[in-house]
Amino acid sequence: MFEQTTKRASFKAGIYLLENLTSGMYTDPFAILREYIQNGVDSIDLSTDKGPVDQLEIKIELDPVERRILIRDNGQGIPAAFAQEILSSIGSSNKNAPNLRGFRGIGRLGGIAFSDMAVFKTKADGENVESVQEWDCKSLRKLLAEAKNRTLTFNQVFQKITSFSQNKCDLSLESYFEVTLYGISSFRNYIFDITRAKRYLSQVAPVPFHPNYFSHGQEIDSYLKRNLKHYRKYNIILNGKRIFKPYKDKIKITKGGFDELTGIKFIDLRDDNGELMACGWYGEREELLGSIIKGDDSSGIRVRAGNIMIGDDHLLDSCFREPRFNSYVLGEVHIECDGLIPNSRRDDFVDNKTKNMFYNAVEREIGLPISKEIRLRSRIKSESRTSMVPLRKKETQTNKLPLPISELETKKEEILGDANEDQPDIFFREILRSCKDCPKLTKIISGICRLGNFSQVDINCPE
Ligand SMILES: Nc1ncnc2c1ncn2[C@@H]1O[C@H](COP(=O)(O)OP(=O)(O)O)[C@@H](O)[C@H]1O
Ligand SMILES: [Mg+2]
């Protein structure tokens, strides 16, 4: 018999792990606002005894002169007895309730890479103690830059650059969690561009629809509330102004001019077993000719988990016949299943079987029908430019159909292409729309519909 001796190597986490968790994490500095907002809304969700969610808020102040950022929420805060332990745990999280967004225990480190000093202050309700943790980020960068520090452990570095203290404060003060980042690095100064920050937050943060500019907000809210286990919107205030989602009834088109939303289409995305993976909506456009301009911040079907955006406006591009078709529409898909796990950068999901099923379902339920409709509308538009104009002229003289019915039948194939099996109604709708100037057209269409067979219809206008 052999005697097996196993020698356990002692575990060591080195200094550069901290670098990976801070500067290595986010390329877009606005992502740090998203991480602090995510913590704020998780805390608000846990504050069940603080009254309705619309009385709670997250305030963000960007101060370009002082190069300082402050993010403060009045969620539940952290009780004094646990503050040091919680704020000193990295890469583990005590968030185990369903619906909470954070779980990796690294989000609050996002600001470390961009600032000289990061200060976390918190107080819980019914306590007279404020807990404070400070990170000397400038010293961290210095340690990381010097070769002689390469052998330092994670723990040694953490001890060198952080401090923790507790101060007495007024018992009656409401609970809070406040992050202040001082001396934000200048090469990332666009984080102080207030307009840009507002545009980022309006697309990414879990804020409400605008009550005046978007008339479908209530309808969408009630659909999402009915179908999702947890759908909430939060008061997020940037430099004193409330943030709303960017959707509007009137949308600006790249080709120039505007298009209107005529209604909202709701979609359920289900996995191979019929279980709900996500719920979504998109706006039906009156014209659907041309993509929505970038500056509207609304184009593309956006994916949201916990009502916070995952990735950007192009995440679902590959689900459309042509990637650009995604920017013809506006809408959202809200994730409703545990198998879809946002990755740590929150720019996509962790690779797994559910992710594949999700992308397939988006393609099937959203990407393909929309792509077909875009192609159909565009073909009809070019048809009407080439053949409809002279035919219309002729039609007014002879009181005939804008197109002979035999041609209509041929064109049906041509126009619908591969969309005709499942959506014949689009054909009629489109004839109606693009030939709307013909005074007899409505009658003709209804005649065609009644007969249901093109070849039997008299090509003369039914008077
Ligand atoms: N705004 C906040 N309010 C209350 N607690 C917070 C807040 N932000 C962070 N925390 C606490 O700090 C922990 C670590 O936050 P973070 O690093 O973002 O990781 P995660 O959100 O993945 O748990 C959280 O789990 C929470 O306990
Ligand atoms: Mg977090």
Which single residue is written with the structure tokens 């002082």? 66
* Burial group, residue 456, by CB count within 10 angstroms (0-12, 13-18, 19+): exposed
For residue 365, give both structure tokens. 């339920």
Kindly state the average pLDDT of the residues 4-30: 77
Ligand 1 contacts CB of residue 246 (under 6 A): no
pLDDT at residue 462 tops 90: no
In angstroms, how far is CA 459 from the centroid of its own chain?
Answer: 50
Most confident of 46-50, 344-348, 415-419: 344-348
Q: What is the pLDDT of residue 23?
A: 74
Ligand 1 atom closest to Cα of residue 104? 22
Q: How far is the CA of 145 from the centre of ligand 2 (A)?
A: 27
- Residue 100 binned pLDDT confidence (cut-offs 50, 70, 90): confident
Q: How far is the CA of 163 from the centre of ligand 2 (A)?
A: 20
Ligand 1 contacts CB of residue 46 (under 6 A): no
Q: Helix 405-416 crosses helix 424-434 at what angle (to 10 degrees)?
A: 120
What share of the chain has pLDDT > 70, as a percent? Answer: 81
Are 160 and 139 in contact, with CB atoms under 8 Å apart? yes
Burial 48-79 (b: 16+ CB within 10 A, else e): eebeebeebbbbbebeeeebbbbbbbbbbbbb
Task: Please report which residue ranges of 15-92 form alpha helices under DSSP H.
Answer: 15-21, 30-46, 80-88
Ligand 1 atom closest to Cα of residue 107? 18
Ligand 1 atom closest to Cα of residue 75? 3
Ligand 1 contacts CB of residue 104 (under 6 A): yes
- The tens digit of pLDDT for each residue in 297-308 reads 999 999 999 999
Kindly state the average pLDDT of the residues 19-24: 78
Q: Using CA atoms, how far apart are residues 92 and 217, in angstroms rounded to an integer?
A: 37
pLDDT at residue 424 tops 70: no
Q: What is the pLDDT of residue 176?
A: 98
Kindly state the average pLDDT of the residues 458-463: 38
Q: What is the pLDDT of residue 449?
A: 46
Are 102 and 75 in contact, with CB atoms under 8 Å apart? no
Q: What is the pLDDT of residue 10?
A: 78
Q: What is the pLDDT of residue 400?
A: 40
Q: Which residue has the higher pLDDT, 77 or 438?
A: 77
CB atoms within 5 A of ion ligand 2 belong to 39, 102, 107
Q: What is the pLDDT of residue 4?
A: 56
Does pTM surpass 0.85? no
pLDDT at residue 422 tops 70: no
Closest residue by Cα to atom 14, ligand 1, is: 105
Instruction: State the DSSP code for 218.
Output: H
Q: How far is the CA of 310 from the centre of ligand 1 (A)?
A: 19
Instruction: State the DSSP code for 436.
Output: T
Ligand 1 contacts CB of residue 95 (under 6 A): yes
Kindly state the average pLDDT of the residues 36-49: 92
Per-chain mean pLDDT for the chain = 85
**Radius of gyration from C-alpha coordinates of the chain:** 29
Closest residue by Cα to atom 9, ligand 1, is: 39
Kindly state the average pLDDT of the residues 79-103: 88
- The tens digit of pLDDT for each residue in 429-448 reads 666 566 666 666 655 555 55
Ligand 1 contacts CB of residue 84 (under 6 A): no
Burial 119-148 (b: 16+ CB within 10 A, else e): bbbbbbbebebbbbbbbbbeebbebbeeee
Task: Please report which residue ranges of 271-404 form alpha helices under DSSP H.
Answer: 353-362, 368-383, 389-398
Q: What is the pLDDT of residue 455?
A: 39
> Best mutation site among 93, 125, 174 for ligand 1, i.e. most ligand atoms within 8 A of its Cβ?
93
Q: Using CA atoms, how far apart are residues 196 and 192, in angstroms rounded to an integer?
A: 8
In angstroms, how far is CA 227 from the centroid of its own chain?
Answer: 18
Ligand 1 atom closest to Cα of residue 179? 1
* Burial group, residue 295, by CB count within 10 angstroms (0-12, 13-18, 19+): exposed
Ligand 1 atom closest to Cα of residue 101? 21
pLDDT at residue 351 tops 80: yes
Kindly state the average pLDDT of the residues 307-333: 97
Closest residue by Cα to atom 7, ligand 1, is: 39
Ligand 1 atom closest to Cα of residue 87? 12
Q: What is the pLDDT of residue 95?
A: 83
Ligand 1 contacts CB of residue 100 (under 6 A): no
Are 250 and 260 in contact, with CB atoms under 8 Å apart? yes
Q: What is the pLDDT of residue 413?
A: 53
- Residue 121 binned pLDDT confidence (cut-offs 50, 70, 90): very high
Q: What is the pLDDT of residue 106?
A: 87
* Ligand having the closest approach to the CA of 43: 1
Q: Using CA atoms, how far apart are residues 105 and 204, in angstroms rounded to an integer?
A: 20
Q: What is the pLDDT of residue 463?
A: 35
Q: Which residue has the higher pLDDT, 445 or 180?
A: 180
Which single residue is written with the structure tokens 């008061």? 235
pLDDT at residue 460 tops 50: no
Q: What is the pLDDT of residue 150?
A: 87
Q: How far is the CA of 32 from the centre of ligand 2 (A)?
A: 10
- Residue 98 binned pLDDT confidence (cut-offs 50, 70, 90): confident
Ligand 1 contacts CB of residue 319 (under 6 A): no
Q: How far is the CA of 242 from the centre of ligand 1 (A)?
A: 23
Which of 124-133, 179-188, 410-419 has the lowest average pLDDT?
Answer: 410-419
For residue 273, give both structure tokens. 């077993």
pLDDT at residue 326 tops 50: yes
Q: E strand or H helix at 195, and its extent?
A: helix 194-204
Q: Which residue has the higher pLDDT, 402 or 306?
A: 306
Instruction: State the DSSP code for 274.
Output: S
Contacts of 431 (CB under 8 A, 6+ apart): 380, 408, 441, 445
For residue 346, give both structure tokens. 């929150």
pLDDT at residue 457 tops 60: no
Q: What is the pLDDT of residue 426?
A: 59
- The tens digit of pLDDT for each residue in 211-244 reads 999 999 999 999 999 999 999 999 999 999 999 9
Burial 177-209 (b: 16+ CB within 10 A, else e): bbbbbbebbeeeeebbeeeebbbbbbbbbbbbb
